[in-house]
Amino acid sequence: MPDRQSKDTWSVFKIMGEFVEGFETLRSVWPAVSVFGSARVGRNHSYYQNAVRVSQTLSEAGFSIITGGGPGIMEAANLGANRGEGRSIGLNIRLPFEQEPNQYADTIIHFNYFFARKVMFVKYACGFVALPGGFGTLDEIFEALTLKQTRKIHDFPVILFGTAYWGGLVDWLTDRLLNDKMVSKRDLKLFSVTDDPDEVVETIRHHYKRRRRSPRPTDGRETP
């Protein structure tokens, strides 16, 4: 029976394999937008329909769509991508429950490790769009905001879609974190909130065009 040390060493190679597969598969998807949201939303829900509209609008504007590859809003975003011109990417996480790849992702990569999967969401995206979701969506939002705040990645838009859903969170960030000086006013400008798919596209497209005109950073920050 292998000891713990040898099992840990073998895990390193499994992790490396996930990174290599992700890099090799996703290198050609640029420019892309990562779209997040709940796996628990039904197809008749307004959140699902919003995800289709947002992703289709982005796809028609020439962006590939990257999702978590599962059901709910992830499925809706992959469906929207299929209706446009961009590629439809699903980064599926292997779980003991809940998640199977949806039928609308034309490229699927399977991950055992959340952290390897999260790198792929960031590395190959020029924008994040978060529709209503739970812990996983919040994790992905605040991961991106932390990387932007600390300048560990090249800056890109983080957009929360759905003012009614995200309004309470924004109020809490302002009333508690800002007032207690846990964040600065500048930090609260690291994201935006909207209900307009066209505004999402315009924000991301404007940033992408500006980024293409800018020289690549030389300070070691992550870029695709």
Predicted confidence at residue 217, as pLDDT, reads 41
Nearest Cα neighbor of 161 from 60, 73, 78 is: 73
Residue boundaries of the structural domains of the chain: 21-208
The Cβ of residue 198 has, within 10 Å, a number of other Cβ atoms equal to 12
Q: What angle is formed at CA 21 by the lines to CA 15 and CA 24, rounded to 5 degrees?
A: 140
Select the more confidently predicted residue: 149 or 6.
149
- CATH fold, domain 21-208, is Rossmann fold (3.40.50)
CA triple 83-166-195, angle to 5 deg: 45
| Segment 138-143 mean pLDDT | 94
Cα angle: 112, vertex 118, 121; to 5 degrees: 120
pLDDT (0 to 100) of residue 25: 87
Task: Kindly report, residue by residue over 37-66, the tens digit of the pLDDT.
Answer: 999 999 999 999 999 999 999 999 999 999
* Residue 43 near residue 11 (C-beta atoms within 8 A): no
Instruction: Report which of 93, 101, 91 is spatially closest to residue 64, judged by C-alpha positions.
Output: 91
> Mean pLDDT across the stretch 171-198?
95
Structure confidence at residue 95 (pLDDT): 80
More confident residue, 211 or 99: 211
pLDDT above 90: percentage of residues in the chain: 66
d(C-alpha 155, C-alpha 53), whole Å = 25
Averaged pLDDT for residues 97-113: 84
CB-based burial label for 214 (10 Å; 0-12, 13-18, 19+): exposed
Query: Which residue reads 């099992």 in tokens?
Result: 7
Name the pLDDT band for 219 (thresholds 50, 70, 90): very low
pLDDT tops 50 at residue 15: yes
- Pick left, alpha or beta for residue 108 (phi over 0 → left; psi -120 to 50 → alpha; otherwise beta): beta
Written as six digits, the tokens of 61 are 């504007």
